[in-house]
Structure 1
């Protein structure tokens, strides 16, 4: 049975995928803070050296039908092993069976939709399920809720970010898997696929107006559950020449979904991509932007600057894990902002405060 009344010091929690780029960052920061997560994954050769270095317990097991056995004494799982489209569902299933709260750092729309579909099962198992407790999607999700609080009658919501962050191997592989699938937005409450490069506009994310492109970011899913706003799009800055290239790419992207092409690209990532180091992360903050519009044409804009995207993931994941372990939160499926409030992003190291701007029509 999931015992929410036991104290934090008695609760065991687990980081799955602890030897991946982001998982290791989280594990190392957790140890610095005096936390003692169990480190887990399926590769003993990568896991055990990390466990020995950090002097933390390790568990080797694959994500699959038998995973619940390895979670029998675990109160919370922080899942960091992608691609989440393949690993999230079986790990949530294991958490439901074991009675362990579930967190992950995904940014994939399909994973979010699956997580929300587990709401009834999570309530029955008395666990909390919350996907996206990293940069995907804490900053934009909190921005969405802030805008909803400022404009309760909003009919459309646009969210986005601008950052010069590097990229980790896991994120690169997830991008490869999504190649050829195009973009997406939410219209009248429904998620609709749209051609990549077809959504274009000028946006000031916080450091000057730039040409921007719509992307299939997780908020297309999560922001609807957080706010109830029926029309949602997500954006990043991109040069106009590259937007044109994206439109051309969207017509030929199906080639990149072929298995041998995917395998070749992932092998290249394995050999060549190591992820941004601490110096690069420290010098590359993120700029978050959100815009809500109501039927009268009033435009409400919110901006906030945060730490680097990977640092936000580390801070956000540990904040979410700590609060769940310490508090008495409701069971069911939630977004980060719905569970912890819009102020969550302001509480993370390196974050500023929300800046609000209102423009009236005419």
Structure 2
């Protein structure tokens, strides 16, 4: 019998709550999942939805909680700790898996589950939020425009504030440093490894490399062997990133990590609706081949959180009626290279 239920796991978090509220506004009835019974059940009562309480540390309970569920939208970070056990539960219960991660290691693990997902007949597609739908679509469109591209650079300019979960993920990432893809392989590099001027759409800005998820996903979408991702950063900030790079070992110590995450809990609540509405995002990409030919792509989207909510809903709706093969997918491979253009607040991808 075809399953038609779907679940938001981590529904009580900042983004999970936004996703649940928008789903209800659109007439959808997700099951709300999570391990915090009081918070999840309170939201379920508020939205008149059902709830299932389970901890991902319990593999049997996780599998059983997905009984009858066709798709789970995973919103409970940090995904470095939560993604693998939920993917395992999805494989065991034949449930499609999507999430809103931007963590390179999570994408890489999901990719290793391709054969298992094929065998189970499920789709595993992490990164269906702002990480990484817009940049993944630009990457795919650039590869189509320049099929022999050897180098890909991506980036975005946004003022969107951080949610608590995103901030905690960033704290965890401090110890990992930077990351690029070079000759097809992931390469660890210092924080602030490269700087360049980029016109994201409002004139040239100084930008610096960051360890964004496309370093993993864009390779699987395009097979381009050399990939870097950039974020605007004043020269002083880029210099500061290089200065703290030698301290990565210290920043990774459990005591330091716990203190930094405690500060997140005290100081960060996530942007409100009015703030989000004012924060448009400009996305940029550049592909280059061995002959020196260059193609540039630009796109304007809504703020990152609205993109994430509507991107996740696009993926869920797609998978609720999906009849294709299982396996690991990137957003552009699953939903189409211009799927970002379907999201509210998004413009067209322009290639020049």
TM range (shorter): over 0.9
Give the whole-Å Cα distance in 1 for the aligned partners of 2:90 and 2:322. Answer: 18
Kept after mapping to 1: 8 A contact 2:125/2:331: yes
Residue number in structure 2 paired with 1:102: 97
Spell out the pairing of 1:78-93 with structure 2 (5 A cutoff).
Answer: 78-93=73-88
Residue number in structure 1 paired with 2:6: 13
The answer as to 2:241 corresponding to 1:246 is yes
Give the whole-Å Cα distance in 1 for the aligned partners of 2:351 and 2:25. Answer: 35
Structure 2: tracts of 5 or more residues without a match = none
Spell out the pairing of 1:240-319 with structure 2 (5 A cutoff).
Answer: 240-319=235-314
Kept after mapping to 1: 8 A contact 2:142/2:351: no
Kept after mapping to 1: 8 A contact 2:310/2:343: yes
Residue number in structure 2 paired with 1:200: 195
Residue number in structure 2 paired with 1:322: 317
Spell out the pairing of 1:178-257 with structure 2 (5 A cutoff).
Answer: 178-257=173-252
Q: Secondary structure at the match of 1:116?
A: helix
Question: TM-score, normalised to structure 1's length?
Answer: 0.95
Q: Secondary structure at the match of 1:310?
A: helix
Deviation at 1:99, TM superposition (A): 0.5
* Per-residue deviation, residues 171-219 of structure 1 (Å, max 9, x unmatched): 0000011112110100110000011112111101111110000011000
Give the whole-Å Cα distance in 2 for the aligned partners of 1:285 and 1:293. Answer: 27
Deviation at 1:111, TM superposition (A): 0.2
**Superposed CA RMSD:** 0.9
Q: Secondary structure at the match of 1:107?
A: coil
Structure 1: tracts of 5 or more residues without a match = 358-362
* Per-residue deviation, residues 330-351 of structure 1 (Å, max 9, x unmatched): 2100000011111101110000
Give the whole-Å Cα distance in 2 for the aligned partners of 1:236 and 1:308. Answer: 15
Residue number in structure 2 paired with 1:53: 46
Kept after mapping to 1: 8 A contact 2:279/2:303: yes
* Stretches (4+) displaced over 4 A: none
Give the whole-Å Cα distance in 2 for the aligned partners of 1:200 and 1:161. Answer: 14
Give the whole-Å Cα distance in 2 for the aligned partners of 1:14 and 1:329. Answer: 20
Kept after mapping to 1: 8 A contact 2:80/2:105: yes
Give the whole-Å Cα distance in 2 for the aligned partners of 1:178 and 1:164. Answer: 20
The answer as to 2:23 corresponding to 1:30 is yes
Question: TM-score, normalised to structure 2's length?
Answer: 0.98
The answer as to 2:171 corresponding to 1:173 is no
